[in-house]
Amino acid sequence: TVFLGDVGRPDLAQKADDMTQEELAGMLFDSIREKIMPLNDDVIIYPGHGAGSACGKNMSKETVGTIGHEKANNYALRADMTRDEFITEVLDGLLPPLEYFGFNVQMNKQGYISIDEVIKSGTNLMSPDAFEIAANDTEAIILDVRHQTEFVQGFVPRSIFIGLAGGFAPWVGALLVDVKQPLLLVVEKGLEKEAIVRLSRVGFDNVIGILDGGLKSWKAAGKEIDTIDTIEAIDLAKLVEPGNDNNVPTPTIFDVRKPGEFTSEHLENAKSTPLDYLKNHISEFPSEGDFYIHCAGGYRSVIANSILKSKGIHNGIDVLGGYSAITKTDLTVTDYVCPSTLK
């Protein structure tokens, strides 16, 4: 598999569980050399994954390219690369595969519930009172799938945000992990079926209820609402750059993009804490004093903030517009390094 700036992960071949990563990487080398490299330079590539995907480490955000460009710029397609060099470089910095991958493989082998049954059982509309009881008396996670701009303004306490408008299903699989996890949904009216179907695509078939009327009905019932504080990138710049009040400490900023995105370019002094493995770094977030979280455009940072809030950490502030907005300010960022040149 060839992407723009990278190649496929060699550690996801589930049927080859008796082989090492190194052996699988060697097979990938052979495949690329025998089937990809002989292709004409003008052959067009439409990558199946791009920047931010868990299926690679240095993928470009571009959506179309050519074999010739990849031969010239993709670290894994260097003509003079030996097999051993390829194995070393393609495995270097590769994060562990997401846990839900294995669950999905087992489901594909053993069978699963029909989508019609999943939709029927999942479309269980609950009143605010019934929804609250289910949230308190079961092990269900409240999953809010609205847009992040709506979520930050108000949500059911302890909700996890993963919006339908972003990389919904992969992030559900990456962060919730257990496909048997009971779920309670907060979803915009008319999108209930879509949410259930997209959850099912990564094996999450255990939706036990949907808040009837959405957050509007929750508010009308007088239930408690939580929010996430936000800040514009230009206002963050006033806190960070020289010239601010010397009595104000430099703010702590967490970048939840993937390691390859961070390495390519990042805000100086920001801490790289990839969303994929946030659960392993909860203790690194301060329990007192404001801190700031950003991603590339504002989707993943809200996910991170919602998870932290569900863990009792309420002092995170979301940077609106993420790194894209940060680059339009005077904040100091590192020199850009093309993902294709990273190892």
Quote the strand ranges of 173-326, DSSP E. 183-186, 207-211, 229-232, 252-255, 271-272, 291-294, 316-320
DSSP code per residue over 39-93: S-TT-EE--S--TT-TT-SS--S-S-EEHHHHHHH-GGG-TT--HHHHHHHHHTT
- What token pair was written down for 288? 């007192």
* 100-220 carries CATH number 3.40.640.10: no
Pick the closest to residue 95 from 64, 54, 134, 124 (CA basis).
54
Q: How far apart are CA 60 and CA 338, in angstroms?
A: 8
For the domain made up of 229-341, the CATH class stated in words is alpha beta
DSSP code per residue over 294-328: E-SSSSHHHHHHHHHHHTT---EEEEETHHHHHTT
Least confident of 93-107, 178-192, 314-328: 93-107
- Alpha-carbon distances, residue 334 vs 16, 190, 267, 297 (angstroms): 40, 44, 6, 18
Q: Is the pLDDT of residue 281 over 60?
A: yes
Q: Is the pLDDT of residue 15 over 60?
A: no
Domain parsing of the chain, residue ranges: 14-91, 100-220, 229-341
Mean pLDDT for 54-61 is 77
Pick the closest to residue 291 from 265, 273, 276, 279 (CA basis).
273
Q: Is the pLDDT of residue 342 over 80?
A: no
Q: Count how many Cα atoms sit within 13 Å of the Cα of residue 39 in the half-sphere of its side chain.
A: 19
Q: Is the pLDDT of residue 327 over 80?
A: yes
Q: Is the pLDDT of residue 277 over 90?
A: no
For residues 264 and 272, the answer to whether their CB atoms sit within 8 Å is no
Residues making up the chain, counted from first to last: 343
Q: What does the longest C-alpha to C-alpha distance in the chain come to?
A: 67
Contacts for 287 with CB less than 8 Å, ≥ 6 apart? 313, 315
β-pair partners for 209: 184
pLDDT category, 250, cuts 50, 70, 90?
confident
For residues 45 and 70, the answer to whether their CB atoms sit within 8 Å is yes
Contacts for 251 with CB less than 8 Å, ≥ 6 apart? 236, 239, 240, 290, 291, 292
Q: How far apart are CA 231 and CA 251, in angstroms?
A: 12
Q: What is the pTM of this model?
A: 0.78
More confident residue, 167 or 208: 208
- Segment 82-132, tens digit of pLDDT: 999 999 999 887 776 666 666 666 666 676 777 788 888 889 999 999 999
Q: How far apart are CA 234 and CA 320, in angstroms?
A: 10
- What token pair was written down for 131? 């929804």
Q: Is the pLDDT of residue 215 over 70?
A: yes
What's the confidence (pLDDT) of residue 137? 96
Give percent above pLDDT 90 in the chain. 66
pLDDT category, 259, cuts 50, 70, 90?
confident
